[in-house]
Structure formats: structure tokens, C-alpha cells
Amino acid sequence: MAKITFIEHSGERLVVNIPVGWTVMQGAVQNGVEGIEAECGGSCACATCHCYVDEAFVDALPAPSETEEAMLECTAAERLPNSRLSCQLKVSEALDGLVLRLPEAQS
Amino acid sequence: MAAAPGMVVIGAGQGGLQVAESLRAEGWDGPLTLIGEEPQAPYHRPPLSKAMLTGAMDEAQIAIRGHEFFGKHGIELLTGLRVASIDRAARRVALSDGRILPYRGVALATGARGRPLPVPGAELEGVLSLRTLADAQRLRAALEGAERVVVIGGGFIGLEVAAVARKMGREVTVLEAADRLLARSATPFLADVFAGLHRAHGVTVDLGAKVVELEGRDGRVAAVCTADGGRHPADVVVVGIGIIPNAELAAASGIACDGGVVVDDCGRTDDPAIVAVGDCTVRRGAYGVLRLESVQNAVEMGKSAAAALLGRERPFTAAPWFWSDQYDVKLQIVGLSAGHDQIVVRGEPAERRFSAFYFRDGALLAIDSLNRPQDHMLGRKLLDRKAPLTPEQAEDPAFPLASLTR
């Protein structure tokens, strides 16, 4: 399990325990985080699970794949240097304490 | 006292859930019931033919929303139930358990079912199809113990299953009755690329192979026989030969159906109180007559139909898009290529990293992208904005597509 904090665009904070091996997106949608849409179900095909990673964790995450990199160019909200697609972030113990901010819009 | 008339969504797949969510987002605060035939809460179907089959994902990971979501938004989720009938005069829906729900509006999101294989032996053990989570679990177990897998039907479902089975090290044959793969859903150009991809991975792809019989041994399938006298031994047979829209409930209620529930771009049927979305529909609108089976179609029609139930106009007119994952190839399609008179390629076909741009009279119709997600996403914008991309620009790797989307 890793404890991950989601900050909705409204400012609401949700702290969620996500099993290792799941994706951050899966843990979010199963636990009532509504700022993530994830239309494609985690196939890296829709760019609607966009999140901003807290600066302290940006370097702790594996770099985006080529596909994620390309899909990030097409997010509804502005892409920032700390933008990621949460369906591509695999949960590990190393992500315990991760803080993610959600954009105003996903689609 | 009878319950106040509410919104009743029939079918708890991606489209039905979207209608329910969008009704709440659009401000509907009355009763809202979401009825599903399967025992599970709404789940993502695309992983069923991909990560669920390989075991990379399990049942708990594919739910679209967590359980508390439904209570939080006042969505009454009824699973394991069917709707027996819709009484349009009295505006009441009758459920299979005898319950009666008065309605103000109904959304039909009944989906589709696999077309059964009309040959002797189709009922043998080991003959499987893939539509539901239960199907995926059965198929996964069957693939574990199989050596030889025959896939009947060279559409997307069949090809995705073939790719998974091949990755599991099974001997795989794809039998397609038409003279090419993906005959209903993609261009001959793309079909050739995918035939090449599967053959390169060691799959036997037989085109023009008409299945006439499945041969059994002790009640289990043993081989697939084709009209040309071919006999393909098999431990598991996967049938993916298209779908039949579940339009019977609509038809029995007197709603216009013609190869699906007939709707417009807002999801409206010919009854103003009833909308329909997703796989069960045939849409007559800006793109002519469309029978789409895709996530986007379920989600976008769900949004449009929810608005329509509340008397608002939100037509779904975006270019259709779709994707498929096979081996290390991510295919993404946007637009409708029918009627194209020119194909130009951008990228490196030899490395299966390219996009094919389809034009008619110099106007862009559609784009197929293999491992070029950026072309695809920009392509969605190009098509939706009717940006004036020329074939010469599409073909020129130095031309920035993004310059036309800003």
C-alpha cells in the first residue's frame, strides 16, 4: 500500500491507500477521486487522467514512455513540466506520501 | 405512495453510467436508477481483451467508479436485473423482479451481444466469445491450458485475442471469411499492415476461410473445418464475428429500430422521453448513418443523451475515434475513411511507426496512427476544426501538424 494524496481542483484533499501494483488512476477512481475521468480505462489512449505531480516527487517517478509523452501534449488543461497521466504511474512503496494536484478539466 | 417519476437508465455499461453521471452533472436531482444485467458495478470493457486476459489486471481494477460513488451521487444501482418491459403510455418500466419504476425519462444503454457462429458444433465446450467480464475470465482460464487456439473472425476483438494468445506462446490461427482482415472497421491498407504484423509474430492468418463446422471430441471442440476442406486442430476456439445490438426491448416498446435503436446526434429516439446510447444504437446525424462500437461513442452519446433528457441540445458531432493494442503496436483511428481517394503516409512504415492520412478531393477524412499517438491527438483537433491540411503537408515530416490546430 502507498498513501497518496489527491488535491481536486476545488481544493478538496483526498488521502487514499492504493495497493502496490495498481495504477494511481485505478486507486483514484475506486476511491472517489472525481477529477480523474480515465475514459479509456488505463490504455493511455484518452489523456483524461492528467495530474500534476508535487515537485518533490517528480524525480522519484520513472520518466514517461514515448506514448505517455505524446498523449501529454494533448491534455485538456495546460501541460506543465510536472504533468503526468495517472494511468501510467504504477504504485510502489516508493510512492508512499505522493501528492498529486488535479487540473480543472480532463476533456 | 408511489415513488416520484425519475430517470431510469437501462444498461450499466460505460454508456449507461455516463448518462447517469451526466444527468447529475447537468443538475437532475430527482430519482435516478441505473439497472444492469451483469452482477458487477459498471466496469471498463477495453481491458477485457488486453490486460485482463494476460492477467496484468484483475477484476477489482477495472471498475469505472468505486462503490461509494453511487450513494454519494444518489444513483440507485441495481445489478443482476433485467427490464421486462417499458409501458410508454403509462411511463413505467417493469423490472424482472416485478418492481415497477415510474419514469420521466428513460435511457437505453443495453449494449450488444456477440453474433453466434451459425455452424454445427458452435455449442461445444472450448468455444468461447468475449464480451463480458465473465467471458474474459473463462477465456483466460481456457488460454492457460491451451496449446492451439483458433480465432474465428479477423476483427479487432479477434486480433487482440490472437495477440494475447500468441504472447502466451500458444499456436494461433486466425480464420477470416472475407478476403481481408478488419473488413467492417478499417481500410484495406490498414488490414494489410495488421495481417503482416500478426504473421510476423507467428500467427497463421487465413483469409477467405469460411468456417463450416466445428468438430468435437467428447463434447469438447477439437478442430475447425473450413469450406475449402481445411481442418484446423484447436483446444480453444474464440468467436469474434461481430455483434448484434440489444434492441429487442426498444423494438418491443414500439421505438423505431433499424439494425439498432435509431437515434439522432443528441441520442434521441422517436419518443421524446426516451434516449439511447452506445453499442445498441444506430445514429442518423451529421456523419450519415453510423453504427459505432467504441468507448468514445458510449461516453459522448451518454453526455448528449443526458442533456437531451433534460431538454437541452448537445449534439455529439466530434470525429469518431477508436484504439486497439496488439503486441507492441498501439493503433489509433480517428475519422471515417469511407470514400477516400488518396492515402499519404507520415512516419516510418517499416518500423510500424506511422500515420496513414486519408483524403477525398484533397480534404482530410481520417487518420490511422500506429505508435504515433501525437498524430492521432492532433488529428482529432484537425478533423473537428476542419483544418485545411493538405496531403503534401501530411506527408512532409517537417510540417508541424500542430500549426493548424492553434
DSSP B205-227: EEET--EEEEEEETTEEEEEEET
pLDDT beyond 90 at A107: no
Nearest CA in chain A to B63: A30
CA distance B103 to B91: 6
Residue B306's contacts (CB-CB under 8 Å, 6 or more residues apart) are B18, B19, B20, B21, B22, B23, B25, B26, B28, B107, B275
- B26 and B95 both lie in a single domain: yes
Residue for grid cell 489512449: A45
Number of A–B residue contacts, CB under 8 Å: 68
Query: CATH code at B396?
Result: 3.30.390.30
Identity of the residue numbered A45 = A
Residues B133, B231, single domain; the answer is: yes
Cell 403510455 sits at which residue? B89
Tell if the CB–CB gap between A70 and B373 is shorter than 8 Å. yes
Pair (B396, B370) in one structural domain: yes
pLDDT tens digits, one per residue of B17-56 = 999 999 999 999 999 999 999 999 999 999 999 989 988 8
Domain C-terminal end among B241, B263, B287: B241
Evaluate if residue B283 carries a pLDDT over 70: yes
B337 touches chain A (CB under 8 A): no
Residues B58 and B106 in one domain: yes
Nearest chain A Cα to B57, which residue? A22
Residues B234 and B290 placed together within one structural domain of the fold: no
Domain boundary among B241, B257, B273: B241
**In terms of domains, do B207 and B268 share one?**
no
Does residue B236 sit in the same domain as residue B251? Answer: no
Whether residues B220 and B250 share a domain: the answer is no
What local confidence, expressed as pLDDT, does residue B293 receive? Answer: 95
Q: Which domains does chain A have, with CATH numbers?
A: 2-101 (3.10.20.30)
- Domain presence at residue B1: no
Q: For the domain that residue B223 is a member of, what is the CATH number?
A: 3.50.50.60
pLDDT score of B98 more than 70: yes
Rounded average pLDDT over B198-209: 98
Give pLDDT tens digits for B132-189. 999 999 999 999 999 999 999 999 999 999 999 999 999 999 999 999 999 998 999 9
pLDDT value at B386 more than 80: yes
Q: How sure is the predictor about A73, in pLDDT bands with cuts at 50, 70 and 90?
A: confident
Q: How far is B14 from chain A (nearest CA, A)?
A: 9
Say whether both B304 and B387 belong to one domain. no
Contact of B60 with chain A, judged by CB distance below 8 Å, is answered with: yes
- Residue B307: enclosing H or E segment and its boundaries? helix B295-309
In a domain, B316, yes or no: no
- For residue B373, the chain A residues in CB contact (below 8 A) are 44-45, 67, 70-71, 74
CA distances from residue B149 to A105, B119, B220 in whole angstroms, order as listed: 44, 18, 13
A100, A51 contact by CB (below 8 A): yes
Q: Are residues B286 and B349 in the same domain?
A: no
Q: How confident is the model at residue A43 (pLDDT cuts 50, 70, 90)?
A: confident
In a domain? residue B103? yes
Q: What is the mean pLDDT of the segment spanning B121-127?
A: 98
Contact B68 A67 (CB under 8 A): no
Q: How many domains does chain B have?
A: 3
- Return the bridge partners of B326, or none: B329
- What is the tens place of the pLDDT at every residue in B47-65? 999 989 988 888 989 999 9
Q: Which domain holds residue B223?
A: 116-241
Average pLDDT estimate for A18-44: 92
pLDDT at residue B1 greater than cutoff 50: no
Residue A14's identity, in one-letter code, is: L
Does residue B323 carry a pLDDT above 90? yes
Query: Under a CB-based contact definition with an 8 Å cutoff, are residues B164 and B130 in contact?
Result: no
CB-nearest to A32 from B57, B68, B330 is: B68
**Rounded (5°) CA angle B211-B246-B209:** 10
Q: Do B72 and A41 touch (CB under 8 A)?
A: no
| Domain co-membership, B277 together with B333 | no
Q: Do B372 and A29 touch (CB under 8 A)?
A: no
Are the Cβ atoms of A42 and B47 closer than 8 angstroms? yes
Cβ of B330 within 8 Å of Cβ of A31? The answer is: no
Among the partner residues B46, B61, B66, nearest to A43 by beta-carbon distance: B46
The whole-number pLDDT of residue A74 equals 86
What's the CA gap between A53 and B315, in Å, rounded? 35
In a shared domain, residues B262 and B351: no
Q: What is the pLDDT of residues B328-372, one digit of tens each?
A: 999 999 999 999 999 999 999 999 999 999 999 999 999 999 999
Name the 3-class secondary structure at B119: coil
> Looking at B192, B221, B241, which one is the last position of a domain?
B241
Mean pLDDT of chain B: 96
The predicted pLDDT at position B2 comes to 57
Q: How confident is the model at residue A60 (pLDDT cuts 50, 70, 90)?
A: confident
ipTM of the complex as predicted: 0.91
Which of B367, B377, B383, B384 to mutate to probe the A interface, most A CBs <10 Å?
Answer: B377
